[in-house]
Structure 1
Amino acid sequence: MRTTSSAQTKDPVSGWIEDNFNQGKVVNQRAMGSSGWSSAYCYETDQGAKYFVKLARGRDAGMFKGEALGLQAMYATQTLRIPNAYHCGELSSVPGGRGLGGSGSFIIMEYLNFGGTFKQEELGRQLAEMHMAKPHFEEAREGRFGFPVDNTIGGTPQPNPWTASGGTAAWVAFFKEHRLQHMLQLAGDARLTALGNTLCANLEQLFDGVEVTPSVLHGDLWSGNVSAVDGQPAIYDPAVYFGHAEAEFGMSWCAGFSDSFYRAYHSVLPKAKGFEARKTLYKLYHYLNHYVLFGSGYYSQCLSSLTELTRTMR
């Protein structure tokens, strides 16, 4: 990986770091990879401080704002290791920002040295503690579901309007409209939509006797977004909102959670009646998203989940 000296090329992200942290001058920006829409770097100062930076050229700061607020909401629980988000903004709003290659946006966050292993039971216990923590935002403390901003699940828009009230009925209405119906509309398949309409018309049955309160959710918890820092479990790259804690297991089909993980999780947050059926429901949301993103390879999972869930409806 090529290292560039900030003494040779001064950029506005370096300037923001130097102006807002008493950690000396930025001397290196080391490339750390890229995704389909952003590039990642490690910015290092002459005092040895490191910061993790993402740049997205040609995009506004909307996606980074959702990521920053989500990281901050999880970080505030002081449970799992979460990279804290320090700042995000438009490159054009920073003097010299367009010198990084045109318009775009950036986010600056805590640099964590990911690597090694962690205990599955620690991940389960600490995740349950995160779900039980006092919410970071006033709306969620009032019992409402949603998030201050819309964000994305993968590359798919994820609407998060705050519900007007709390309680299980409010959560069911939120999940019905802003998760299932939203994703079914994007999928645009008549057979899936017909089954989905039946499911939505009877969704309350899956929550009979269950009291749902807002938990901060990572929202996209699979093995690629879990790592270790100093032997402790860490999670990142979220799609955060406040919802039913069980919805966190929607990506469990590719998360690699062990039996010890679930035992530890439910020792803190006991399993409620109907957990397995709702787990199928929450997996359905992510199967639908993968169908929207990646196509027909995920159609059978969507169809079988909808068929299984609607078969139980009275």
Structure 2
Amino acid sequence: MLDQAVLDALGLNATSTTVSPHGGSGFSSTYKVTSGEKKYFLKTGRDDDARVMFAGEYASLNAINDVDPTLCPRAHAHGSLEATPGSHFLVTDFLDFQSSSGGPSLAQKLAKLHTTPAPSEGKFGFPATTCCGSTPQPNEPYTTSWAQFFAQNRLAFILKQNEAANGSDPGLRTLVERTIEHVVPSLLGKLDGKITPVVVHGDLWSGNASVGSGQAFDPSACYAHSEYELGIMKMFGGFGGQFMKEYHALVPKTEPVEEYEDRVTLYELYHHLNHNALFGGSYRSGAVSIMKRLLATYESEANL
């Protein structure tokens, strides 16, 4: 039986609506809701973490959907369940992963997203906290400096998450602080005033996308530098050289082009640190390796 709060949010009748388990998630229970010809995807979860996650995903999906309604599903509602106090829900369109059959490819849709200015008057941020995995990401206050946003809202924040999850780590803290002090200004400071904020998916790895159908899901959006998207795509792969060639034909690499690979590596660093906070294991060594490599070039450059 579908919770009354979900029925009310969608304007559905219980007698003509069915719900069945569908798919799986490490952070929520997932279902397919059917009412006549209408199909929805439902997520439910407990406690305040689920409330924050679903509110952020709701805002993320609709920010992307406003640019390209074929890239991500439209989110219809989120809120608290009536029958289960302390539990929350999110309802979106149900995706049928079928071939794009001649329509725009995922690379073309991503390019459209990344060439459409965000509705933030040139500022970086987002109107909701979003979650990458289960990590809540602060997206306010808005700022005109992408370097400042990435340094504080991503690297400095995820360092605190690492210490909360894994305990004090002076070596990691020193490397992150040096990266913020030297690498971020050298690589990203020169972009301030020269790049336009766009909506990014924010968690675009192969498990959150269907290249064949040109669709994506589970976003963690913000108004960011377009290349920020590419960090997690590089970390986990799955998109291929032809995808990137098609994408960059529509979204040229930001100048200076010779620093493109290092910028994407810097953005990838955030996801290594996030995964270390979430899962530990080898992700710390990946983060350390990236920081040492970038510091070898840009720490000395910053001190010239």
Partner SS for 1:312: helix
Which of these residues, 137, 141, 162, is aligned with residue 158 of structure 1?
A: 137
**For residue 73 of structure 2, what is the amino acid of its counterpart?**
P
| Kept after mapping to 2: 8 A contact 1:122/1:261 | no
**For residue 103 of structure 1, what is the amino acid of its counterpart?**
G
Normalising by structure 1, what TM-score? 0.84
Provide the alpha-carbon RMSD of the alignment: 2.3
Cα separation, partners in 2 of 1:116 and 1:255, compared to 1, 3 Å: farther
2:251 aligned with 1:269, yes or no?
Answer: yes
Question: For 1:205 and 1:58, how far apart are their aligned partners in 2?
Answer: 41
2:71 aligned with 1:78, yes or no?
Answer: no
Cα separation, partners in 2 of 1:310 and 1:220, compared to 1, 3 Å: same
2:38 aligned with 1:49, yes or no?
Answer: yes
Question: For 1:62 and 1:208, how far apart are their aligned partners in 2?
Answer: 31
Q: CA deviation at 1:10?
A: 6.7
**Residues 150-159 or 78-87, more deviating:** 78-87
- The unaligned stretches of length 5 or more in structure 2 are 164-168
Question: For 1:292 and 1:88, how far apart are their aligned partners in 2?
Answer: 27
Cα separation, partners in 2 of 1:33 and 1:124, compared to 1, 3 Å: closer
Q: CA deviation at 1:289?
A: 0.5
- The unaligned stretches of length 5 or more in structure 1 are 1-5, 92-96
Counterpart in the other structure of 2:296: 311
Partner SS for 1:296: coil
Q: CA deviation at 1:48?
A: 2.1
Count of equivalent residues:
285
Q: How does 1:208-287 map to 2 (within 5 A)?
A: 209-210=190-191, 211-227=194-210, 232-252=213-233, 253-272=235-254, 273=257, 274-287=259-272
Question: For 1:300 and 1:14, how far apart are their aligned partners in 2?
Answer: 47
Counterpart in the other structure of 1:291: 276
Q: CA deviation at 1:234?
A: 0.4
Cα deviation per residue 1:216-254 (whole Å; 9 max; x = unaligned)?
0110110000015xx531011011111110000111221
Which of these residues, 169, 175, 188, is aligned with residue 207 of structure 1?
A: 188
| Kept after mapping to 2: 8 A contact 1:80/1:127 | no
Question: For 1:255 and 1:79, how far apart are their aligned partners in 2?
Answer: 25
Q: CA deviation at 1:208?
A: 6.2
Higher helix share: 2
Q: Percent identity?
A: 34
Q: How does 1:172-191 map to 2 (within 5 A)?
A: 172-188=147-163, 189-191=169-171
Cα separation, partners in 2 of 1:80 and 1:249, compared to 1, 3 Å: farther
Q: CA deviation at 1:145?
A: 0.5
| Kept after mapping to 1: 8 A contact 2:56/2:128 | yes
Counterpart in the other structure of 1:198: 178
Question: For 2:76 and 2:187, how far apart are their aligned partners in 1?
Answer: 40
| Kept after mapping to 1: 8 A contact 2:54/2:90 | yes
| Kept after mapping to 1: 8 A contact 2:43/2:90 | yes
Q: CA deviation at 1:34?
A: 3.7
Question: For 2:4 and 2:287, how far apart are their aligned partners in 1?
Answer: 46
Q: CA deviation at 1:80?
A: 4.6
Cα deviation per residue 1:187-232 (whole Å; 9 max; x = unaligned)?
232112212222211222113654222110110110000015xx53
**For residue 123 of structure 1, what is the amino acid of its counterpart?**
L
Normalising by structure 2, what TM-score? 0.86
Cα separation, partners in 2 of 1:171 and 1:208, compared to 1, 3 Å: closer
**For residue 187 of structure 1, what is the amino acid of its counterpart?**
N
